A and B are shown apart, each in its own frame.
Chain A
Amino acid sequence: MSEISAIYVIWLREVKRYVREKARVISSLAMPIFWIIIFGSGFSRFNIGMNVGYREFIFPGIVTMALLFTSIGSGVSVIWDREFGFLKEILVAPVSRTSILFGKMIGGSTVSVIQASILILLSFIVGIKLNFLIILRTLPLILLISMGLTALGLSIANFLEGHEGFQLIVNFIIMPMFLLSGALFPIEGLPAWLRNISLIDPVTYGVEALRWSILGTSNLPIGLSLGVLFIFMICMVIIGGIGFNRKK
């Protein structure tokens, strides 16, 4: 019982902190919108060889980008908790490490789901017509993607000593994962060796799954994308859990 209330408390804290930081909320929404408008317009005549225009094509990719930054950021934010001492307060409470990890993960995911949902509601900007079915199948997908990515952030945090490593993560993990994912161009056009790298990037499957659900068209079968995303999430939870339990 107190484990559930512990998960709830930790979840609540993440959400409160997010909602309270207006600057973070606004910048986390503005960035993807700039991308869509500027990138989408600049390359609007770029033929991607599918039955949708370029702006529609990159829209699911941009939503995934928002998920990627926010989720990994939330996961990695444990470093700040550690650095500012708050983590000790949670660790000394009579709740299991697993509950703490879950609370963090669900909290981080909630924040990114809120953000991605707002973006999806704004999809009319690029001319996408939403309907109830689209929303219904997209929400669980963004939840799945963000849980995996938040857990990845938590796993990374276990390897970092202080917050200095954060820029490193952005440059060496988030950006490559985003650029290789085919969010901005179809990976079919890449040379074979690069395409193979793209295929081991879990974000690729997130982008493809969202293309399937939002645009109704994708290059990879949705079953494959779902499977990979699910396995990715489970692996990250396990790795994050082991690291978290080992670290004090």
Chain B
Amino acid sequence: MSEFAIETFDLTRNFNGFLAVDHVNIKIKKGELFGLLGPNGAGKTTMLNMLCTLLKPSAGTAKVNGFDIIDQASDVRKSIGIVFQDPSLDDRLTGRENLEMHAMLYGIGKEERERRINEVLKLVELEEKADLLVRTYSGGMKRRLEIARGLVHYPNVLFLDEPTLGLDPQTREHIWEYIEELKKKHAITIILTTHYMDEADRLCDRIGIIDHGKIIAIGTPNELKNKVGGDVIVIETKSKNVNKFEKLKFMGEVRITNNGILLNVKNGERLITKIVDFARKNRIKVDSISLRKPSLNDVFLHYTGRVIREEEVDGKELMRQRFLMRMRRGT
């Protein structure tokens, strides 16, 4: 057996000429918690759909748990559990019935089934609600039930597609704790997609940043941040002369954002006074200057020249998220 839970070989998917996933080659080790981080439309879901055999690649292939996703689809399916991005519960059945049905689809015998169902219900703290119809669940409860369902058959590889999308901060925190617990207690490989930087940063052993269907950077959160370089200086200003800051290029990378300037520099502490002098000399009114270590946001900016958040809040996506939340709440 290979040491990898997932290996992709030029994995590609083309939708009528549009490359949603573009020659992706990644290797994910067994037991790893791997994050696919990218903005809306980057190709995360498309990639998972191929890895879980719901969608055929247009070119290339991949191995999941040592099985080929094209030729050994059935073995791949036995090896994986998945929590889809969009809701996929039967809300006319109870939570327990959803789990029972799932366990039977995976050929688990009656006694074992009961034991495992109680076990996963306990993990996601839904024991008391298990016999209520799923329509009466809150969004977070539905999400937790889906996670429980993905685990009932003890998969070797678990896919979580945006597990906390549209959930409130407390529920997100809760779900993160389950994921951390899973990783600690079980020898399970988890692949998680997200466009939340904090989620990727907190949970993942390694992160692959995906944009326009391509993996543009890969590594541990720290490795990725170190690639951006020492420090980030944020200068807030409403001045129309912000462009003058371009002259600071000798210090490091300079980017103009909506409300000021971002500088990627080494030894930021020593440069602040120079920046203040520069601003005064050029008569630019500065509201604030702050210094911080780079975040994954800066990493994304470094590689793509864009902020991941900008795309997140376009109108269409907002509508979609509200729709999803409503579906989860079942109203």
Contact = CB atoms under 8 A, between A and B. Distances in A.
Q: Note whether A and B form a binding pair.
A: yes
A93 B89 contact: no
Interface string B190-202: 0000000000000
Contacts of B105: 2, 5-6, 9, 90, 93-95
B78 A94 contact: yes
Contacts of B106: 2, 93-94
Interface stretch (B49-57, B215-223, B247-255): B49-57
B126 to A, nearest CB: 17
A93 B93 contact: no
Interface of B: 52-55, 74, 77-78, 80, 82, 84, 86-93, 97, 101-102, 104-107, 149, 327
A248 interface: yes
Nearest to B79: A94
A8 B104 contact: yes
B55 A248 contact: yes
B86 A92 contact: no
Contacts of B87: 84-85
Nearest to B74: A94
A1 B107 contact: yes
Given A6-B104, A9-B105, A92-B53, 10 more contacts: A1-B107, A2-B105, A2-B106, A16-B93, A17-B93, A84-B91, A84-B327, A86-B88, A86-B89, A248-B55
A88 interface: yes
Contacts of A2: 105-107
A89 B104 CA distance: 13
A151 to B, nearest CB: 22
A98 to B, nearest CB: 13
A13 B101 contact: yes
13 contacts: A2-B106, A6-B104, A9-B104, A16-B93, A16-B97, A17-B93, A84-B91, A92-B77, A93-B105, A93-B106, A94-B77, A94-B107, A248-B55
A8 B93 CA distance: 16
A91 B89 CA distance: 13
B193 to A, nearest CB: 15
By secondary structure, the A interface counts as helix
Nearest to A17: B92
A215 B320 CA distance: 56
Given A92-B52, A94-B78, A85 B104 contact: no
A22 interface: no
Given A16-B97, A86-B90, A89-B102, A5 B82 contact: no
A20 interface: yes
Nearest to B104: A9
Contacts of A95: 105
A16 B54 CA distance: 27
Contacts of A94: 74, 77-78, 105-107
A8 B104 CA distance: 9
Contacts of A89: 84, 88-89, 102, 149
Given A2-B106, A5-B107, A93-B105, A85 B77 contact: no
Question: 9 nearest interchain CB pairs?
Answer: A2-B107, A85-B88, A94-B77, A93-B105, A9-B104, A94-B78, A89-B88, A85-B86, A5-B104
B321 to A, nearest CB: 16
Contacts of B97: 16
Contacts of A13: 90, 93, 101
Contacts of A12: 101
B84 A91 contact: no
Nearest to A21: B92
